[in-house]
Chain A
């Protein structure tokens, strides 16, 4: 390997650049560690949101019963109308 001829100033600058490079590497590592920390917080919160939504979906799954209840109430109304008709007929006969 051929030796490079550098002056004292260039040597000093090179060393300075290497030191700055290491500082930059450390700064990048620190910032990326912060990013990872924040992403992990997001991950935890997303898991909580997912679990909450799953529980909510399990709870709201029973809403399929509402139309059935509505049909049941409708049947009660129909039966009540039959009773009304029956009582109307009977009442007329009783009064007669």
Chain B
């Protein structure tokens, strides 16, 4: 009879102790998870803050870059026109005529040639077209 009572008490104590132990263990694990999730949330918020800059910044760069890319050919054209207009005739600058390659030389009039070539040739190279001769 006494053994039955003792066993009953042991049973109940085991149940309560087991529950307490496991719940304490699970609680500490969940606490750690909560702390890690809080860190993750802060990192995600930081990423969100960083990402907010990307859209407007890239849009700004695209717009400005597009305007620059569209305006540069105008500058090339004007600069080349000035170079052509101010270059003296070939007879007045024999050293330039000798320096100019045959492909860029123009009959009767050989203006100073830009080292990078003409605007048109650069644009053609840009799209992968190479002029022969």
Tell me which of A56, A67, A70 has the highest count of chain B C-beta atoms within 10 A of its own C-beta.
A70
Chain B residues bordering chain A, tally (CB within 8 A): 50
Chain A residues whose C-beta falls within 8 Å of the C-beta of B85 in the assembled complex: 91, 94-95
Interchain CB contact under 8 A, A77 and B64:
yes
Within 8 A of A (CB), among B12-46: 12, 14-15, 18-19, 22-23, 25-26, 29-30, 32-33, 36-37, 39-40, 43-44, 46
Say if the beta carbon of B131 comes within 8 Å of chain A. Answer: no
Contact residues in A for B115 (Cβ distance below 8 Å): none
Q: How far is the CA of A14 from the CA of B12 in the complex (A)?
A: 14
Taking CB atoms and an 8 Å cut-off, the chain A residues in 30-44 that contact chain B are: 32-33, 35-36, 39-40, 42-43
**Chain A: number of interface residues, binned into ranges:** 35 or more
The A-contacting residues of B in range 31-86, CB under 8 angstroms, are 32-33, 36-37, 39-40, 43-44, 46-47, 50-51, 53-54, 56-58, 60-61, 64-65, 67-68, 71-72, 74-75, 78-79, 81-82, 85-86
Known A57-B46, A69-B61, A88-B78; judge A43-B33 contact (CB<8 A).
yes
Q: Taking the nearest CB of chain A, how far is it from the CB of B98, in angstroms?
A: 25
Verify A60–B47 contact, CB threshold 8 A.
yes
Q: Main SS of chain A's interface residues? A: helix
Let me know if B11 and A39 touch, CB within 8 A: no
- Cβ of A80: which chain B residues have Cβ within 8 Å of it? 68, 71-72, 75
CB of A42 within 8 A of CB of B15, answer no
Known: A70-B57, A91-B81, A94-B85. A39 touches B29 (CB 8 A): yes
A50 touches B29 (CB 8 A): no
Q: A11-B4, A25-B14 are in contact. List 17 more A-B contacts (CB 8 A).
A: A1-B2, A36-B22, A46-B36, A49-B40, A50-B40, A53-B47, A56-B43, A57-B46, A67-B57, A70-B57, A70-B60, A76-B68, A77-B68, A84-B71, A90-B82, A91-B81, A94-B82
